[in-house]
Amino acid sequence: MTNSGKKSMAPSSSSGLTFKLHPLVMLNISDHFTRVKTQLNPPASSCATGNGHSSGDAMILQNPRVYGCVIGAQSGRTIEIFNSFELIFDPTTDTLDRSFLEKKQEL
């Protein structure tokens, strides 16, 4: 607290920018990561039937990389991020699905 009794806030960054991140964005990112991780690492019951990955593959896929797009606005030195959506990554070509991105941008 300062001498006047008001709480002082730490700066959000050394650049002087202020970021406002809406909870929906965090939920979207968490949901996307969880879905991708679950798809790449099926539950143990499917591994027992021989449909799963070997233990070496599972180690690699424990924390998959996910891609997405954030949507927001800047007003002065304040950046507000209010929405996001997932992007589809093709590991065989190491590219993002451009048509999917363009379709999402139209919505």
For the domain that residue 42 is a member of, what is the CATH number?
3.40.140.10
Picking from 62, 1, 11, 10, the residue whose alpha carbon sits closest to that of residue 36 is: 62
pLDDT in tens, 47-103: 544 444 445 444 455 677 889 999 999 999 999 999 999 998 888 899 999 999 899
Residue 11 domain-assigned (yes or no): no
Residue 8 domain-assigned (yes or no): no
Which is more confident, 28 or 6? 28
Which is more confident, 54 or 39? 39
Residue 2 domain-assigned (yes or no): no
Residue 87 domain-assigned (yes or no): yes
CB-CB neighbours of 16 under 10 Å: 8
Total of domains in the chain = 1
pLDDT for position 45:
63
Rounded CA separation 67/21 (Å): 18
Rounded CA separation 50/65 (Å): 25
What is the pTM assigned to this prediction?
A: 0.62
pLDDT for position 14:
73
Residue 13 domain-assigned (yes or no): no
Residue 90 domain-assigned (yes or no): yes
Residue 3 domain-assigned (yes or no): no
69 close to 107: Cβ distance less than 8 angstroms: no
Residue 99 domain-assigned (yes or no): yes
Range of the domain at 50: 18-106
